[in-house]
A and B are shown apart, each in its own frame.
Chain A
Amino acid sequence: MKDSVFKVLTNKKIAKNTYEMTLRGDVSDISAPGQFVNVKLDGFYLRRPISVCNVEGDVLTLIYKAVGRGTELMAEMTGGEELLTLTGLGNGYDTKKSGDKPLLVGGGAGVPPMYLLCRELVKEGKHPTVILGFGSSDEVFYEDEFKALGAEVIVTTVDGSYGIKGFVTDAFSGLSPTYFYTCGPEPMLKAVYDKSECSGSFSFEERMGCGFGACMGCSCKTKYGNKRICRDGPVLEKEEIIW
Chain B
Amino acid sequence: MVNTKVTLCGVEIDNPIIPASGTFGFGYEFAELYDINVLGSLSFKGTTLEPRFGNPTPRIAECPEGMLNAVGLQNPGVDKVKECELPKLREVFHKPVMANVSGFSEYEYVTTVEKLDSEPDIAWFEVNISCPNVHGGGMSFGTSCQSAEAITRAVRRVTKKPLIIKLSPNVTDIVSIAKACEAGGADGISLINTLLGMRIDLKKRRPILANTTGGYSGPAVLPVAVRMVYQVYDAVKIPLVGMGGVSRAEDVIEFMLAGATAVEVGAANLVDPFASKKIIDELPLVMEKYGIKNLSEIIGGAH
Contact = CB atoms under 8 A, between A and B. Distances in A.
Contacts of B67: 45-46, 209
Contact of A3 (B23, B219, B272): B272
B71 A45 contact: no
A69 to B, nearest CB: 9
A24 interface: no
B255 interface: no
Interface string B106-147: 000000000000000000000000000000000000000000
The B interface, classified by DSSP as helix, strand, loop or mixed, is loop
Interface in A127-145: none
B207 interface: no
A155 B58 CA distance: 31
B171 interface: no
A1 B22 contact: no
Contacts of B93: none
Most-contacted residue by chain A among B33, B267, B270 (CB, 10 A):
B270
A217 B58 CA distance: 8
Most-contacted residue by chain B among A70, A207, A210, A216 (CB, 10 A):
A216
B26 to A, nearest CB: 10
B57 interface: yes
Most-contacted residue by chain B among A40, A215, A218 (CB, 10 A):
A215
Interface residues of A, number: 26
A215 B73 CA distance: 10
A45 B218 contact: yes
A202 to B, nearest CB: 16
Given A214-B25, A215-B22, A45 B57 contact: no
Contacts of A40: 271
A214 B273 contact: yes
Interface in B14-51: 22-25, 29-30, 32-33, 45
Interface residues of B, number: 35
A151 interface: no
Contacts of B29: 212-214, 231
A224 interface: no
A215 B268 CA distance: 11
A81 to B, nearest CB: 18
Contact of B273 (A212, A219, A220, A221): A212
Nearest to A214: B25
B74 interface: yes
Contact of A207 (B53, B61, B64): B61
Nearest to B61: A207
B74 A226 contact: yes
Contact of A216 (B61, B66, B71, B218): B71
Interface string A209-243: 11011111111110000100001000000000000
Nearest to A221: B53
B63 A207 contact: no
B274 A3 contact: yes
The A interface, classified by DSSP as helix, strand, loop or mixed, is loop
B213 interface: no
Contacts of A3: 272-274
B65 interface: yes
Contacts, number: 89
A215 to B, nearest CB: 5
B271 A216 contact: no
A159 interface: no
B62 interface: yes
Contacts of B64: 45
A217 B271 contact: no
B196 interface: no
B269 interface: yes
Contact of A219 (B45, B53, B63, B270): B53
Contacts of B273: 1, 3, 86, 210, 212, 214
B30 A214 contact: yes
A40 B271 CA distance: 8
Interface string B244-279: 000000000000000000000001011111100000
B25 A213 contact: yes
B23 A219 contact: no
B54 A219 contact: yes
Contact of B58 (A44, A206, A210, A213): A206
Contact of B270 (A44, A70, A207, A215): A215
Contacts of A111: none
Interface of B: 22-25, 29-30, 32-33, 45, 53-54, 57-67, 69, 71, 74, 208, 218-219, 267, 269-274
Interface of A: 1, 3, 40, 44-47, 70, 86, 206-210, 212-221, 226, 231
22 contacts: A1-B33, A3-B274, A44-B62, A46-B60, A47-B271, A86-B273, A206-B58, A207-B59, A209-B69, A210-B269, A210-B271, A212-B29, A214-B23, A215-B60, A215-B270, A216-B45, A216-B54, A216-B71, A216-B74, A217-B57, A217-B71, A218-B60
